[in-house]
Structure 1
Amino acid sequence: MKKMKVILTGSTGFVGASVLKKLEESEHHVDCLVRSQQASLSVSCSTVVADLTHLSDANSLEPLLSSLADCDVVVHCAARAHIMKDEAVDPLDEYRRVNRDATLMLAQMAAEQGVKRFVFVSSIKVNGEFSQPNQRFIPDVIAAPTDPYGLSKYEAEQGLKKISDETGMEVVIIRPPLVYGPGVKGNFASMIRWVKKGVPLPLGLVKNFRSLVAVENLADFISLCANRHKSPKAANEVFLISDGEDISTSDLLRKVAKAYGVKARLLPIPVGLMKFFAQLFGKGSVADRLFGNLQVDSTKARDLLGWVPVISMDDQLQKIVNFEKEKGEK
């Protein structure tokens, strides 16, 4: 079977670094699109220097166009993700500039150069912030999201579908929920620190259901979709992906504590009381994330492509522990 050439964006990021390792294991030829020649990559590979937000600059186009000319698949992981203290004057405009406009410009260039498939890592926020009880998100979207990040991803998806219709380039859209694994940052990393320090958390009675995806599972699925020979049925499809084992916030904290060999200190505070005070202090959106459901239906990935998770939640959490030990983190 002929090796495929893949161009990967976001290869220095949390998800992209894992995808790069998977692609290299599959023995594809990988060109990493980076903004600087000094970019730190998880494995050694060819690089193409170009800034996705300045593709209108003629000087930035030549090396990228040359790489796209003999490329089979583009895997687009790069994005402007959630920023806790966003200092942009207009956050939505900035999200659109990176997540929508740069994505569509890259995709249009890829199609014009004869690239066969464009794999886009979107977000479950395209579906919404939380799912209704006893219901799971499916690929269909009822209404456009209002969250700036989710909206920019939704608009990128719509533009990609239009480019596919007009050019014939296959588009694969993947919407992951919260991604965790070695090197994770953001709220998941904060949660780990709280558990390790033994901070009492008022979450002992939370009985919600949330879908998560281990970074190794997500990277494995992206790698599968990047292989047109192994995943012909992925063409022009939207996939929701998860570990397949939904879990409550309190049970997740217990699993994290077990992985670190500590005791989870979870106080049995009624959820209704916590929601009341969260609303009172203007933290209703935080309460929704902590107490609400966010479940995705990932059966399409299994039924259509035969994909199964390559690692369990417990094993991925243990890898986080081992990663921190190797780095000497406390």
Structure 2
Amino acid sequence: MKRILITGANSYIGTNFATYLAQPEFAGKYQVDTLDMVGVAWKSFDFSPYDAVYHVAGIAHSDNGKISDERAKIYYAVNTDLTIVCAQRAKDAGVKQFVFMSSAIVYGDSAPIGKSKIITRDTPVNPANCYGDSKVQAENGLRQLDCDTFKVVILRPPMIFGKYSKGNYPLLSKLARKLPVFPKVDNCRSMLYIGNLVEFVRLMIENEEQGTFWPQNPQYSNTSEVIAQIAKAHGKRCVLIPGFGWALKILSHATGLVNKAFGNLAYDQSLSVYKEPYQKYSLQEAIERTEK
């Protein structure tokens, strides 16, 4: 039996992972506990009984525009410093593996509408803000702890979505359910359904992996098509209207939200191939499961 500690209570990803491993098909294979990382009480926690730590504690990027110095300090304190201290304690206690949730944000913002951004294994990190840099600095600190007896796994997922997820997807869902028409824009984005992510993490721990990984869905996403598929999942029809690309390009100079929604950011599919299948759900299946 693998003993797994999720560090970070009540997180969307951690909760879904614990629920996934509690399914009857995994009975007797995993013992999963969760540790609240708020405050200082966790520092007296005994990590020694665990084979792996899955670290999901962190502050997600929810700021638009310039981030204050005080807010930046919080990003580094939680996303960087807390991660490294937690990993060091796990290593000192004899834990064999540490799985860290980084993000595609380490590569910077999406490319503007009309410009491609395909990330390969050779693409250097290039964070555009302190949130991205806090993840990069955490990765750098974890690599210093990485060794044969303490295997560090760094995951750089793209946008994660699923039922009750936060972030951009709920906004797209809301628009799809209300709008009868929507701009048709040709963009390319990598996304990751929560059901595919939890299986990938399970395989990382089951196979005692080590290194950096880039999980994603088996198909790329197009924002306009995602809107249409969400509408269809609700028995509605959203007509995609071409010819709005120029207007969105102009609007993108006024707000970064346009490129965040319609820009391009994708992983080369070969980057996400793993020796065992983890992409259990296609994009269409993932949207249907999320919406229904």
Is the TM-score greater than 0.5? yes
| Counterpart Cα distance in 1 of 2:239 and 2:227 | 9
2:151 aligns to what?
Answer: 170
Distance in structure 2 (CA, Å) of the matches to 1:253 and 1:115: 43
Contact 1:198 1:263 in 2 (8 A): no
8 Å CA contact retained: 2:162, 2:194: yes
Show CA shifts across 1:258-313 (max 9, x none).
1111111433343123211331xx21x2222233211113534434x323301122
Cα deviation code 1:81-138 (max 9, x no counterpart): 0224799662221111111110000000001011100001110011222259565213
Alpha-carbon distance between aligned partners in 2 of 1:139 and 1:32, rounded to the nearest angstrom: 33
Which residue, 16, 29, 32 being the options, matches 1:30?
32
Contact 2:175/2:227 (CA < 8 Å) preserved in 1? no
Question: Could you tell me how far apart the structure 2 residues matched to 1:85 and 1:207 are?
Answer: 25
| Separation in structure 1 between the aligned mates of residue 123 and residue 159 of structure 2, nearest angstrom | 18
Select which of 55, 65, 70 maps to 1:76: 55
* Residue matched to 2:260: 289
In structure 1, C-alpha distance between the alignment counterparts of 2:92 and 2:230, rounded to whole Å: 47
Instruction: Within 5 Å, give how 1:265-276 maps onto structure 2.
Output: 265-276=239-250
Q: Find the counterpart in structure 1 of residue 72 from structure 2.
A: 92
Runs of 4+ in 1 over 6 A off after TM superposition: 85-88
CA deviation map 1:125-171 (0-9, x unaligned): 11222259565213445244122211111110010001115x84100
1:321 is matched with: 291
* C-alpha distance in structure 2 between counterparts of 1:122 and 1:200, whole Å: 35
CA distance in 2, matches of 1:186, 1:161: 29
User: Which structure is richer in relative contact order (CA contacts within 8 A, separation 6 or more)?
Assistant: 2
> Which residue pairs with 1:241 in the alignment?
215
Match of 1:160 among 142, 146, 171: 142
| Unaligned runs of at least 5 residues, structure 2 | none
- Find 2:191's aligned residue among 190, 197, 212: 212
Match of 1:47 in 2: none
Alpha-carbon separation, structure 1, partners of 2:258 and 2:179: 21
Number of residue pairs matched by the alignment: 285
Distance 1:122 1:298 in 2: 19
Alpha-carbon distance between aligned partners in 1 of 2:284 and 2:42, rounded to the nearest angstrom:
44
- TM-score for both structures, normalised by structure 2: 0.89
Q: Which runs of 5+ in 1 are unaligned?
A: 35-49, 323-330
Any conservation in 2 of the 1:178–1:213 contact (CA below 8 Å)?
Answer: yes
Q: Distance between the aligned counterparts of 1:124 and 1:159, measured in 2?
A: 18
Letter in 2 for 1:114: G
Q: What residue number does 2:4 align with?
A: 6
Question: What is the RMSD of the two structures over their aligned residues, measured on CA atoms?
Answer: 2.3
SS in 1 for 2:20: helix
Work out the CA distance in 2 between the residues paired with 1:147 and 1:153: 10
- Which letter does structure 1 place at the counterpart of 2:70? D
Any idea what the Cα deviations from partners look like across 1:153-202, whole Å, max 9, x if unmatched?
1110010001115x84100011111111111223211111111122643x
